[in-house]
Amino acid sequence: MSKIVTNNLNLWYGVFHALKNVDSAFEANRITAIIGPSGCGKSTLLRVFNRMNDLIEGVRTDGEVIIEDANILNSNTDLVVLRKKVGMVFQRPNPFPLSIYENIVFGEKIHGDRITRDKLDEIVERSLRDVLLWDELKDKLNEPALRLSLEQKQRLCIARLIAVKPDVLLMDEPCSTLDPQGTQRVEELMRELKNKYTIIIVTHNMQQAARVSDDTGFMLLGELIEFGKTEQIFTAPFDKRTEDYITGRYG
């Protein structure tokens, strides 16, 4: 079942045409990797899904992005609700300068009504368990989040999203600042999380895309050139441009 569908999606930054007629369908409970050279539009596409591009001056979009039967590009879309449903993890983990506990309940406090301490405790435990951090951090919940390792910070940021029960997790180069062990643990976490969430990851790391994703889309100069099962894209891509990029001939 498709969680996100784009129909003839176009996006301009001023006069620069950054996304060109993108038609795609992102399946629920799967990990989809978007790959492509720098500037191809992959992060732009990711940011369309929770309207993060709206923060950039001069952005214009047309076409459709359908999430749960609604075109989220419509002007009446409630962006707070949308961003709760479609959360985002960034390249560099960005916990707030608050305690671990406060980081996780931050979203719930914004989105939720008055909520009891017991309920918040429950959310913190569930979210940290989901990102496999509970055992490590359960006795340090009041310590500053900024003291955590990079990998723990990134997992905490994922926990902060999960706390508000999103449907979709967008990940923009989530492992680029992590060492191989940290990368491996975040990838394992992604595999766990896909049972509950739809995950879309943008990555420059081809091996990571091949390892972790179920589907892969290749973008070039704003176009979605090829989209398919990861196994097919990485062993037998249909389009020569995909082949050239993943074998390092593009340059």
Partner 1 sequence: MERHVDEELKELNKDILKMGALAEEAIYKSIEALKNRDKEMAKSVIDNDSNIDKLELAVDEKCIDLIARYQPLASDLRFITTGMKINSELERIADIAVDIAQRTLEIVDKPLLKPLVDIPKLTAVAQNMVKVSIDAFVKGDIALAKKVLLSDSEADHLRNVIQKELIEDYMVKDGTTAPRAVQLLLIARFLERICDHTTNIAEDVIYMVQAEVVKHHPEKLKNGK
The beta strand positions in 28-105, using DSSP E, are: 31-35, 59-67, 70-71, 86-89
| Residues near 232 by beta carbon (within 8 Å), at least 6 away in sequence | none
Q: Which of 13, 206, 221, 223 binds partner 1 (CB under 8 A)?
A: 206
Which of the ranges 77-85, 124-132, 196-204, 206-214 carries the binding residues for partner 1, by CB under 8 A?
Answer: 206-214
Q: Is 64 in the site for partner 1 (CB under 8 A)?
A: no
Region of residue 173 (phi > 0: left; psi between -120 and 50: alpha; otherwise: beta):
left
Residue 127: Cβ-neighbour burial (10 angstroms; 0-12, 13-18, 19+): buried
248 is a contact residue toward partner 1 (CB under 8 A): yes
Q: In terms of CB distance, is 6 or 208 closer to partner 1?
A: 208
Q: In this chain, which stretch among 101-109, 148-156, 176-184, 241-249 interacts with partner 1, using CB under 8 A? A: 241-249
Least separation in angstroms between residue 13's CB and partner 1 is: 29
In the complex, least distance from residue 219 CB atom to partner 1, rounded to whole angstroms: 17
* Residue 225 Cβ vs partner 1, minimum distance, rounded to whole Å: 14
Q: Is position 58 an interface residue for partner 1 (rule: CB under 8 A)?
A: no
CA 57, 59, 78, 33: dihedral to nearest 10 degrees?
Answer: -120
Site string for partner 1, 208-237 (x = CB under 8 A): --x-----------------------xxxx
Whole-number Å distance between alpha carbons of 233 and 35: 11
* C-alpha of 170 from chain center: 1
Binding footprint of partner 1 on the chain (CB under 8 A): 206-207, 210, 234-237, 242-243, 246-251
